[in-house]
Structure formats: structure tokens, C-alpha cells
Structure 1
């Protein structure tokens, strides 16, 4: 709804009321239309101020109404009527003005923002474009280049940047509504012709064709198959080259194409899935999100390698006191310098002072005796981690939470070394830990809801998307990555090249293909893990391990000292160690030919489609097994993990949503086809949950949990 009051004698104050973000639902739009009409017809009202309840202006369209039969006053005529008003209308922007909220503000004649407000046309992140005039008004207001940047990225800007760009007219440090009312009183009676953005022309662009050609090329490159950013460029081009009414028509045509697209459905699914993973209960029935989380004031990080440094920075940036412990002298000195540099760069980006004073460094484990929570980030070795947890259990306070930044190891086995296993959880960060958004919180059999709640809340405080997962080898993300990686190797054996496989995956939307990722992270990392599992045989003599097909190709490269970018050679060659410019390596192609000849393998032509089906469907099949095993609470958890931690293209919705879009029956049939062709690869056999879902008529993804519950009840 929208509430109307008259204040300061002649200012009509319209307050949007639709918690939590005052979204433009049908009821709110009705309220705006009614109250604006009432204010304009009231002779005592000389100017209007539009604000939002509870310190938030407006979060945009009500996404819950998308695809429903709920109707209300259309947004475009409503904004036009505000812009056409014969009395000044001032938007008082507090909190946020995103999407349709900013479009509403652009329809007002003036905009006053609180200094801490955030603004943005964020529609592109939902697979859409600003279709209530935003793509036409913003370029007219701030110029084409600046508008293109904001609209194609959907990025949030601060009030200070909005003022600099000309999006807002004034920034208030205190009560924005008071400042807007004062401003409204000062402009009452003034001409509004120059304040109606739709009436003005876009600032001229020297060579409009060259500009848009250049921008389109860059956007296509970064969008990696997403269609919304491309449509945004086309809409802004209409603003720059057409009269307003024709530009609006073009905006609507483009929006009509996007609105019903699979990509928009995928992106909107991701939006809701991110909220679903925050409401979760443990198998015991206890809910971590309703469990009281004990406050954490002081934390410690053990081990200051790459991961430990990033975790230390992430903790310090939240304002926590951090004890950073590294027992090796050389690494200790390097880590202090590296963390300091990371803090400086982060502070510069945010325009704040670096929180150096929050970190205390020590080479002695005893320094963690009084902390509330410890995150262990030592080398991924079970014996070493167990030793550290034995020491922590003896040194720390009895009620301190002990967390392991492990990516694959058994959390229960680690917890068994402590006096209070209920206080132990895994906190699997992703590198670089101060940048990557995902955090897998791994609960063991004895982890308490309180321990899970503390880890999840701490992740949220660090700005992470935290997902609670069960304990198994590799948890969710890395467990699903294994069959994906195996298929990539098998395809090499059968005739593919790293370039062919990576090109197919990048065309699908991944930022980097599988082999470029391995070169980036270092081939020796996986080699070390495979050695510990007893899978590595010198010379890669056998292609069978533990009764199943195994490709020793990665092991053989490591034996040659080819560890990827760090050595200048891996699956690709690089100009020098550390370079990121991957180039095809003739030596590697010869190596593959020799390997195939040695094992009697005949190379065949492999299509991009086979690469995608085998790599992605094998991964998806493992996702169904994870749901069947109760390691993830629902498909949304898996999808959010893959979108935020593994580079899955967001416009494809996540692996489980993608399976739903392709059709579960098709996924099952293709897996059966490949399982028949490769009987020595059991991960290609469709899992029983997938078969159950297909037998149940392939229900939509939001109904899968009902089938999963039935599976669990029968276990």
C-alpha cells in the first residue's frame, strides 16, 4: 500500500509500505496511483515527496508476482503520470532503490539520496532489462557510456557515485525525508519542463555506431551466452538513436523476448534458491536458522597458506579480532606481508581504513587459548589435521567452536580427536577465500545445531552465501566434480583435445574449461590427493583402478613436472611460469597420440554435444545421488553451490535446474546410452532417484523434495 499525509503545510508525503523492501506489488501500485491522484487534486498540496517505510525506498518489482495472474496498474503509465504531474515530485531515497524502484525515482522530477543508500538497475541479474523506461531515461540523464555500464552489469552504486554521475540531485547525511521535504518546498511552483527526463535528448555521442559496436563486442564476450546483457545494449542504443516513444516501444519488444525466456527463468530460480538455502533443518529435525547463535567476538586461523591468508582477511574485514597462527618462520613472514597487502587493496576499493589492528600474528598455537572460534586451514592431510585438532582441543576454551577448512576430508574423523565433537564443523572456503562468495558448512554426525548456526551466521557476516551440507568424501561440490573430471579425461583418451573440451564448456557458459582450470589451480594438487587414495601407479601402467576405469593422464603429466601455469606447462603451454595466456601445446598432442597407441585406443571424432552430455550429465547424476544420500537438503543447495563456487553459468540456473530444463527423461536416456557404451564407468548409470523422478512423471524442480522425502522415509 501507499500512505498519503500532508506535512509542512503544502507537501504531500507518499510512503510506500510493503515490507521488507517495499516492492512494487499490485497493491502498492494501486496505492501510488490513488495517492498521487489525491495529492495532485488537493489545492493545498504544492509539491510531493515519495519515500519508503522503514528506511528503504523501493527494492523494485515484486518478483513473486512474475508469471501469476495478479494484476494491478501497469508500471509504465504510473511512472509517466508522475513525470507528467504539474507539481514537483521528489524521490527521498533511503536504503536502496533497485530495478523498478530506481525507475520510479527516475520518473520523479528530483532525487535526494541518503549518503548510505545504494542504487542500481539490477534487472539484468534476473535475465531481464529495465522495462519501465529505465533503459530510456537513464542514458538521457547521465549519458550513454555511463548508462551502458550500469544497465548491462546491474551493479549497485553508492549515493556518492550517483551524485557524481548525475543520477541524484543531492545527498543527505541525516534524515533524507526531511531534506526532501525542505527541497520540495524550495522548488514548488518552478517550471518542470527540463525535469521531465523523457522530454530531453541523450547527450550526443561522437561516433554512435562505433561505440555500440565496441560495447556489444565486449558484452558478448563477458556475457558468455547470456542474452539479457545483449538486449540491454540494444535498448540503450534505441535511447541514443530514436525518439523516446519509439525507444519505449523497442524496450517493450526486447523485454517481451526476455520475459518468457529459459534464461530469465533460470536467473529468477537462482534468486529464490539463494533464499531457500538459508532456511534449512538438520536430519534430526533441528533447524539451524532458528537455533540461537552464540556471538563470536574473537576468532583464530591456523595455517597461513593461500587459504588461511584469505580467511584471515575475510574475518578481519567483518570487524572481528583475529589471531593468525603460522608455525613455519618463512611462511609466517610471507603471510604477514601478503595479508597486509590484501587488507590495503580491499580498503582502497571500499574507501575505508584497512583493519590491520584487528589481526594479531603468532607462531605459537597457545595464542588461541581465549578465542571463541578457530578455523584450521593447514595442508589437506588427514594425519596433520587430526594432530592440530588434538592440540586445539587441549588448548582452547571448552566451549570454543573448532572448524576445519577441508575440501574433501571426513569431518567426523577430524572431530573424533576432540573432547567436544559437537562443537566441530567443516567450513569449506573457496579460493581466494576473501573474494569467493560460497561457503560449504559441513555438519558431522555429532555436530550440534548451534555449531552449524554459528558457522552459517559467521559466513553471512563475511558476505558469503553459506550452504549447510552433510559429511561425505568431497561433500557436495567436489564430490560432483569428480565424475565431471573423469569424463573430461576419458574424452581425451577417446580422441578429444583439451582445446575441444574447454571450447565446448566455455561455449556453454563456463568462464574457463576444465583443463584451463586444472592448469590454473595446479595439477600437482589433485595428483597428491590421488596418491593418498592409492590410485597413482608410476608410469600409469594400468587404466583400471579399484575395479573401475581410471585415466592416468593427469598423473603422467605430473611425472613430467608439468603442473600447469606455475611451471609454464600443463594441459596447455604458457609463455613463462605464472602466465595466464593458455596456448595449445604440440607436445601434448603428440603425448596423447603416443598414449592412445600404447593402450590400443583408436581416436575418433568427438562432438561438442558429446562433451557437454558426458561431463554435465555425469555431474548431474552424482547430484541426484547426493540428494538420495541426504547430503544436500534439496536441489537448490546443489545449484547455489555450483553457481557461486564452481563457475556454473547463472543463466543456466545450476546443474539440477538445468537437468529440469533439459528434461529428466532425456537426461536419463542419454546417461543410459553412455553407460551402455562405457560399462566400466559406473557413474554413468542413472541413479535410482533420477529413475524415480522420471517414473513419477518428471515433476518440476520445486516438487522434487516430496519424492526425496519418500525415498528417505523408505531407507
Structure 2
């Protein structure tokens, strides 16, 4: 769909129309082909302007067409036709020009952008590369190093940066289409030989081989197994070393390989899963679209430790007025200084003015009397949180939503402390709260749909990916994390080392393995949680065999008891040069400790390979995910996958744990769990979940059809 109008006597104005982002669907591509042909054959038309309707140029390819037999005109010949036109074609870029949208603009002879526009080639985030000439034209226009950075990261740039790089010819604060039309009139009749980017020589540094070698090494390291960034480097190298037509062939071949890869399917699944979690539902069928969120203009944060500070910053950066409460004067002074610094750094990063005036500080909880919503972020202690909510219930105005930032405590138990339990939900942020994208919105049996909708909407306003989950120990993310970590401990008892376990998980795609992550977050954190859970029979130094009816490993507790808290103390599962250092080094003491531990408890070390590490850790985590679906804590597999990708470092190119289980094959996951549970009958988390068995019996349907099986299962309970 593209509309054609003759304006200013001689300018053919082509307007793309496909809400909301004017994606390049088959109908839009056909519309462009038809209107361009009409403009070029019309003797009245001396120049052409291409724009998008409703303030957006073009958001790129229509991802819904991926995986189907794509119809309509192909994009590459269409762009070549525009570039080869004998009349100047100007792109009027408003809103965004992304992916195929930017490639379309690069095929035009001139580009005019509004100052608030954003431009980029984000295909790498979908496991692909810009395959309509983006990898060939952009390096010719802005040089190899700058093009490599944009294409391999998918980063979007502002109009000002695009002008500086040379992507656009002009930036305006006025009506972009009007400016583009005037510009088109001014260049009518000019030679276009110097405006066809495909004919440009690629500006290359003299040490081209060294440049690509360095970039490839860096990309492989940061990609952690993802193949698309590597293919992007190879495509840009083709632009730098081959004629344009051969470079285009190389781009096409690389794209064909990526397009059919499992990684592209996983990344595209992540794209849609992120949107699916917006359509949350609660038991009983209540949905967000029937539960209108209440607007939140003023919020409060109680407790200004690490999490409270980050939440305060996230609220302020979202434009809310914030009352920040901390009863300890020293902690309050430190928090003020820290929050001010965080706001300044955030403002600098986003190119805006900091907003410290949005935050008021107080030592008195009475200061929250007139807010719309409160987020409690005090220490993870049930008695302390109960006391805070009793105070809030007495102080806050009627209808104030009361939220807790707990990572595991019972929401319903806290709701019982307030006058209106329907106003209570959990808002589980992830550290650092002003940076991490994930927010678990936890509803209890008494939480109202409006309270959940309000928390979800507030999360969206803060730029979070919000996922609504039910109330249970650890909710979704931390509940699944427990068997994952548990298996890592058991593997150490059986003969593995922290280095072996971490290496296997990092080669799989995690930024950090279990033990490096434990050292970063602090062994004392998990130790306090485990002591709070009061595992039966787990006193200091107790054997790892069977505690009542299940196995428990005290290894983490034993290290914590010796003050080995990880990076903060310079010793944990690894050793560090000094407290606070982030460089993990193998610790001979730890290896001796493990040998002594095994000898003390009659455990014979055996050889453990990477495959067993992955199967034991990941399949135990996945199995708990199936239990969560079976229990109705998460509405569908997409919810779990989004939580793990955005909150727990699951590699995006693996799609999330539940998607990964489908890729591996549910029958294989079931078979392996049965094998390991036979070998370790004292580990309940290895016993295959009945939902997993049911899905295998149903023929292992694809992940997007699991909801049907889950719905049937729940209806029979």
C-alpha cells in the first residue's frame, strides 16, 4: 500500500501506508513498485519524495511474513530501480528508518531526516543480516569501521549522529515532508551519477586485514555462539574487497544460510514472545484489556539500598514524581549521592537533562500519604516487610497500590497485613533496577486485575519487559534457578570443578556460569536465603547424601561460613587479586577443599564432560519450567522464556529454556531426565514433570501450541 500524489507541480510524493510502522509487506512493496513506475513515467514529475504515513518512515520488513512463501515484488530489485532512476528520489525520514526501511532510504539519492528520527539496521537481533544491500551500501557511504559497528550490533542512531556519520544529508526540526519536497525541487535536473551509493568505492583503511581480524575476534567473543554477527562481518568484508554485484551475491548467500538456521527461528520467537507477554491473563480469565490500569503520577519507594536506589532512578527517568524514604540518616545521605550520580550518568547516556527535581527524600514514612503507588524495597525479611506494610496501610490514601520488590517471599502473606489486599502486587525488579529490562509482576489470589494492569503499565512506562506471574516460592525465575544451581553443586561433589561447569555453560552462551555468577552476586546472599528456608538436617558440614527424602549439598554454605563471599572478599569459588576484583582465577585451595570433602563423605570423583553439565543443569531448570506451567504460575512458555532471556542471561539465540527444549526435542529431554533421575533418585527436580510426559504423548507439539495442552490439563484437574 503506497499512495501517490503530485505536489508542488513537479514532485511525485509516495506515501507508505501500513500501520503501525509501515512495514514492507508484500502489498507495500507492490505499492512502491507501482507508484515509482508511475512517477518515473510521468513527464510532469521531475523529482520524487518517499515518506511514511503517521510520522513513521518505515520499520523494515514485515516479520510476520518470515517463514511463509513470500509473495510480492522482492526488495532488492525494487531498491535498484529507485537508485537507477533518472529523476532524483528523496527519502523523508520521520520516526524511524529501520532494517529494510533504512535500506530503502539508502537506495534513494538523498535523505532528509527529522531531528527526532532513529535509524538503524537491527536485523542481527533477529538472527539475520541486512540483505537488501545494507551490508554493501552502508560501508561505501560511511566507511567500514562505522558500518561494521552499526551492522554487527544493530544499534539505532539519532538523526544528529546519522548526519555526522554521513547517512543522511540534512536534519530538520520542521515538517520533514515539506522540507524534502523543497529539497527535491532544488535538485531537479541535476546529474545523479554521484548519488548512487552502489557505485561508490568502499573507503577502506590500509590495514584492512588487521581491522577485520580484530573485529571478528571481538564479535565472536561478544556473540557467545551467535552466528548472525559473524555473518555480518563476512558480508561487510565482501563490500570492502569485492565489486558491488559480487558483494550482493555474497550477502544473499549468507542471508540464505541464516534465514533457515535454528538461531534465526529462536531470535524471531523471542521477538514475538516479548509481545505475547503483554497479553497476560489471570486465573478466571481476567485480562489486561478488560482491566484498565489506573494512571500513576506520583510514586514512593521505601528503603534506599541498592535495589531501592535503582527503582527510584527508574521511576524518575520515566517522568514520575518520586518520594524516596529511608529511615537511617547515614543510608539516606549515601542514597541521595548515589541516586544523583546515577541520574547524571543516565542523562548523559540518553542525551537529556537529569531530573533530580522529580525526587523528594524523607526519613518519615508519613511522606507517602498522597502517592498513587508505593514500592517497598527493604531488606528481604518477612517480619520487616510485614511491619512496613502495616504502616503503609495506615498512612496511605484510599486506593493506593502497594507493591513489594521481594524476589521470593509470599505475596499473599504480605497482602494479609493491609486493609485492602486486592491492591497488593509484587514488582520483582532485577539488579541494577534502573538498567535491567525485566520486571516480574506477581499477583496473589486476592490481587485485583486492575492492580496487576497498573503495575504492568508502570513497568512499560519504565521501559521494562513486564511479565505477569502467579505467587509461589521464587515465582518463576528464582524457582527455576534453584534446581539449576543445585545440579551445579552436585556436579562438584561428583568430580567436576567450578571451571569445568562454568566453561560448559559459557560455551552454551551464558555470559557467566553458575560459579562466576555466584562470586559476582556474593555467596552470602544465597547462604542467607537457604538459612531462611530452613532446609531440614542441613547443619554446618552435614554430608551431601540424603537429607530426609532428598539430596542437599552444603558446599556453598561451607564456603560462606569461612567468609569466602566471592569478589567482595577476594575469595569464593575462585580467587581474585584483591577484594572487588572481577578477574576470576583458579584457586588451588578450592580444589583441595573439594577433594577433602569428597573423601570425608565417601564420594568417588569421576570424569564429567560438558554434555552432562548442560543436560543436568539445563534440563533440571527446564523441568521446573514445565512444573510452573502445570501449576498455572506462568500463562505460557513465552512468559518463562522472556523472563530467562531478559532477567537471567539465557542466550537469546537459543530462544529461552522452553523454546530450547522444543528445539532439542521434548522426547529427548524426557529420556535424559529419566536417565538422570534413575541415577539420582534422591533428587526430586530430576523426576520428569507430568506435563512434559503429556506433551511427548501428544506428539511433542511446537512451543506455540503448548497452551492448548496446558488448558486441557487444567480443565481436567
Hey, what does 1:182 align to over in structure 2? 182
Task: Report how far residue 483 of structure 1 moved.
Answer: 0.4
Tell me, yes or no, if structure 1 residue 468 matches structure 2 residue 468: yes
Question: How far apart in 1 are the matches of 2:453 and 2:566?
Answer: 39
Hey, what does 1:453 align to over in structure 2? 453
Which piece of structure 1 moves more, 576-585 or 545-554?
Answer: 545-554
Hey, what does 1:341 align to over in structure 2? 341
Which piece of structure 1 moves more, 591-600 or 63-72?
Answer: 63-72
Task: Report how far residue 471 of structure 1 moved.
Answer: 0.3
Question: How far apart in 1 are the matches of 2:74 and 2:122?
Answer: 19
Question: How far apart in 2 are the matches of 1:533 and 1:77?
Answer: 64
Aligned length: 715
Hey, what does 1:554 align to over in structure 2? 556
Hey, what does 1:47 align to over in structure 2? 47
Q: Report the secondary structure of 1:538's partner residue.
A: coil
Q: Report the secondary structure of 2:541's partner residue.
A: helix
Hey, what does 2:517 align to over in structure 1? 517
Question: How far apart in 1 are the matches of 2:468 and 2:216?
Answer: 39
Q: Report the secondary structure of 2:253's partner residue.
A: helix
Task: Report how far residue 67 of structure 1 moved.
Answer: 1.3
Tell me, yes or no, if structure 1 residue 163 matches structure 2 residue 197: no
Question: How far apart in 2 are the matches of 1:103 and 1:393?
Answer: 56
Hey, what does 1:370 align to over in structure 2? 370
Task: Report how far residue 693 of structure 1 moved.
Answer: 0.2
Question: How far apart in 1 are the matches of 2:680 and 2:544?
Answer: 17
Hey, what does 2:120 align to over in structure 1? 120
Question: How far apart in 1 are the matches of 2:98 and 2:413?
Answer: 47
Question: How far apart in 2 are the matches of 1:696 and 1:163?
Answer: 56
Q: Report the secondary structure of 1:90's partner residue.
A: strand
Hey, what does 1:328 align to over in structure 2? 328
Give CA deviations for 1:226-245 in whole Å, capped at 9, x if unaligned.
Answer: 00000000000000010000
User: Would you say the 8 A contact 1:540–1:553 is kept in 2?
Assistant: no
Question: How far apart in 2 are the matches of 1:106 and 1:44?
Answer: 25
- 1:5-20 equivalence runs, <5 A: 5-20=5-20
Hey, what does 2:571 align to over in structure 1? 569
Hey, what does 1:614 align to over in structure 2? 616
Question: How far apart in 1 are the matches of 2:383 and 2:376?
Answer: 13
Hey, what does 1:589 align to over in structure 2? 591
Hey, what does 2:77 align to over in structure 1? 77
User: Would you say the 8 A contact 1:540–1:556 is kept in 2?
Assistant: no
Give CA deviations for 1:275-307 in whole Å, capped at 9, x if unaligned.
Answer: 100012111211124421111110000000000
Question: How far apart in 2 are the matches of 1:542 and 1:510?
Answer: 27
Hey, what does 2:490 align to over in structure 1? 490
User: Would you say the 8 A contact 1:502–1:514 is kept in 2?
Assistant: yes
Task: Report how far residue 70 of structure 1 moved.
Answer: 3.5
User: Would you say the 8 A contact 1:127–1:258 is kept in 2?
Assistant: yes
**Counterpart selection for 1:654 from 653, 656, 660:** 656
User: Would you say the 8 A contact 2:280–2:467 is kept in 1?
Assistant: no
Give CA deviations for 1:87-109 in whole Å, capped at 9, x if unaligned.
Answer: 00000010111100000000000
Question: How far apart in 1 are the matches of 2:599 and 2:189?
Answer: 87
User: Would you say the 8 A contact 1:325–1:361 is kept in 2?
Assistant: yes
Question: How far apart in 2 are the matches of 1:134 and 1:295?
Answer: 42
**Counterpart selection for 1:693 from 689, 692, 695:** 695
User: Would you say the 8 A contact 1:143–1:202 is kept in 2?
Assistant: yes
Q: Report the secondary structure of 1:402's partner residue.
A: strand
Question: How far apart in 2 are the matches of 1:127 and 1:681?
Answer: 37
Which piece of structure 1 moves more, 529-538 or 394-403?
Answer: 529-538
Q: Report the secondary structure of 2:471's partner residue.
A: coil
Task: Report how far residue 678 of structure 1 moved.
Answer: 0.2
User: Would you say the 8 A contact 1:378–1:385 is kept in 2?
Assistant: yes
Task: Report how far residue 543 of structure 1 moved.
Answer: 3.9
Give CA deviations for 1:531-557 in whole Å, capped at 9, x if unaligned.
Answer: 111124123356433521000000000
Hey, what does 2:238 align to over in structure 1? 238
Question: How far apart in 2 are the matches of 1:297 and 1:670?
Answer: 51
- 1:282-681 equivalence runs, <5 A: 282-535=282-535, 536-541=538-543, 543-681=545-683
**Alignment root-mean-square deviation, CA:** 0.7
Give CA deviations for 1:149-182 in whole Å, capped at 9, x if unaligned.
Answer: 0000001110010000000000110211011101
Give CA deviations for 1:549-608 in whole Å, capped at 9, x if unaligned.
Answer: 000000000011000001000000011111100001000000000000000000000000
Which piece of structure 1 moves more, 67-76 or 584-593?
Answer: 67-76
Q: Report the secondary structure of 1:343's partner residue.
A: helix
Task: Report how far residue 204 of structure 1 moved.
Answer: 2.6
TM-score (norm 2): 0.99
Q: Report the secondary structure of 1:713's partner residue.
A: helix
Q: Report the secondary structure of 1:566's partner residue.
A: coil
Question: How far apart in 2 are the matches of 1:235 and 1:448?
Answer: 52
Give CA deviations for 1:604-644 in whole Å, capped at 9, x if unaligned.
Answer: 00000000000000000000000000000000000000000
Gaps of 5+ in 1: none
Task: Report how far residue 331 of structure 1 moved.
Answer: 1.1
Give CA deviations for 1:439-475 in whole Å, capped at 9, x if unaligned.
Answer: 0000010100100010000000000000000000000
Question: How far apart in 2 are the matches of 1:390 and 1:711?
Answer: 39
